[in-house]
């Protein structure tokens, strides 16, 4: 794709569409937590949830080098942990490790894999297996996915810290002032009750779990493991077109607002590239997998011995 105008386009000093989305994100946050929450709490929660989802998607943009060439300046744009749960530095480090396509879906080496080693799966208790099976339905991923993911994430990081991993320790240490800033806002400025704020943060993670539900699949070839969801609705916009996931994996430095045109220009190439792992829309995904698992929990291609 060396002839692509999108790829030849030089990096701007400031990527204005991304900066504009950051302004919109924090404007919705302020309106949602103060005026809308005081007038009608459900409306305030909806606006706050949208702001938190957008910030989650913008954190993904920032860790890939947007909207400024200066990384520190970009990081400051998403410093307040308004979503409370995920430390930005840990998200950055694990996500960049995930971008090694050769390890995608690996139960051990891919930090974002939802598969387990079949040997680990076999040792789990019956209730634990039932919980993970429910989590493999889209409804389960929305309802309990954030809680299960957070617990697994924190347990894994705690083990790493106990083994002396200083990068993990510092990632969580920097999360403290980021959360403190968000909590100061909630208790000192916002009109939204704390319980409603925490519920909003949880539901924002639930919506983001829709995006990650089937981003990757077990496939013998690495190229066939990453999805394309050709959606142009509100979810694709909230996810900043990371729904065109194989395009992002192939060109991680391309900003979100160029991905749709890049896909449209080379549609057949991308579909051939990812072995046609494709869905028309999130509506199709809901219809097919809301109450049905797409994949087993144990990795179906992992060696059994």
- Give the tens place of pLDDT for each residue, 287-303: 999 999 999 999 999 98
Question: SS3 of 20, please?
Answer: helix
Residue 11 pLDDT level (bands cut at 50, 70, 90): low
pLDDT at 194 over 60: yes
The residue among 9 and 56 whose pLDDT is bigger is 56
Q: Which residue has the tokens 């598969």?
A: 115
As a dihedral over the C-alpha atoms of residue 11, residue 17, residue 23, residue 27, rounded to 10 degrees, the angle is -160
Task: For residue range 71-123, list pLDDT tens digits in order.
Answer: 999 999 999 999 999 999 999 999 999 999 899 999 999 999 999 999 999 99
Return the number of other C-beta atoms located less than 10 Å from residue 189's C-beta: 11
What b/e string do you get for 254-291 counting C-beta neighbours within 10 Å, with b at 16 or more?
bbbbbbbebbeebeeebbebbbebebebbeebeeebee
What is the predicted pLDDT for the residue at 9? 54
Task: For residue range 229-266, list pLDDT tens digits in order.
Answer: 999 999 999 999 999 999 999 999 999 999 999 999 99
Which secondary structure element, helix H or strand E, spans residue 229, and what is its range? strand 228-229
Share of the chain above pLDDT 90, in %: 93
Q: Contact, 65 vs 71, CB < 8 A?
A: yes
Q: Is the peptide bond before 6 cis (omega within 30 degrees of 0)?
A: no
CA distances (Å), origin 166, targets 72, 89, 158: 20, 12, 11
Report the predicted TM-score, pTM, of the whole model to 2 decimal places: 0.94
Q: What mean pLDDT comes out for the span 60-66?
A: 96
CA-angle at 199, arms to 197 and 203, nearest 5°: 120
CA dist., res. 80 & res. 185, Å (int): 10
What is the predicted pLDDT for the residue at 7? 55
What is the predicted pLDDT for the residue at 303? 83
Share of the chain above pLDDT 70, in %: 96
Structure tokens at 234: 């509100």
Going from N- to C-terminal start, the domains of the chain cover 5-289
Structure tokens at 251: 């060109």
Return the number of other C-beta atoms located less than 10 Å from residue 171's C-beta: 21
pLDDT at 4 over 50: no
Task: For residue range 134-149, list pLDDT tens digits in order.
Answer: 999 999 999 999 999 9
CA dist., res. 43 & res. 48, Å (int): 9
What is the predicted pLDDT for the residue at 13? 77
What is the predicted pLDDT for the residue at 82? 98
CA dist., res. 164 & res. 38, Å (int): 46
Task: For residue range 33-43, list pLDDT tens digits in order.
Answer: 999 999 999 99
């Amino acid at each position: 794709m060396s002839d692509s105008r999108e790829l030849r386009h030089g990096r701007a000093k400031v990527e204005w569409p991304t900066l504009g989305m950051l302004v919109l994100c924090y404007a919705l946050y302020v309106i949602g937590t103060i005026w809308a929450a005081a007038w009608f709490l459900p409306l305030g929660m909806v606006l706050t949830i949208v702001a938190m989802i957008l910030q989650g998607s913008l954190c993904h943009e920032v860790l890939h080098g947007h909207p400024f060439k200066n990384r520190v300046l970009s990081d400051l744009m998403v410093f307040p942990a308004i979503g409370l749960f995920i430390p930005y530095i840990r998200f950055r480090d694990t996500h960049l490790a995930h971008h090694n396509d050769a390890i995608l879906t690996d139960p051990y080496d891919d930090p974002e894999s939802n598969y387990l080693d079949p040997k680990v799966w076999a040792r789990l208790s019956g209730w634990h297996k039932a919980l993970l099976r429910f989590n493999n339905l889209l409804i389960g991923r929305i309802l309990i996915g954030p809680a299960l993911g957070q617990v697994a994430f924190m347990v894994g990081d705690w083990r790493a810290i106990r083994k002396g991993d200083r990068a993990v320790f510092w990632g969580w240490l920097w999360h403290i002032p980021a959360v403190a800033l968000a909590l100061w806002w909630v208790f000192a400025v916002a009109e939204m009750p704390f319980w409603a704020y925490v519920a909003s943060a949880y539901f924002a993670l639930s919506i983001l779990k829709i995006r990650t539900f089937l981003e990757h699949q077990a496939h013998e070839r690495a190229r066939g493991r990453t999805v394309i969801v050709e959606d142009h609705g509100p979810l694709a916009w909230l996810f900043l077109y990371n729904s065109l996931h194989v395009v992002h994996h192939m060109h991680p430095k391309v900003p979100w607002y160029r991905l749709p045109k890049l896909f449209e220009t080379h549609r057949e190439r991308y579909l051939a590239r990812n072995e046609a792992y494709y869905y028309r829309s999130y509506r199709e995904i809901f219809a097919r997998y809301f109450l049905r698992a797409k994949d087993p929990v144990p990795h179906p291609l992992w060696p059994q011995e």
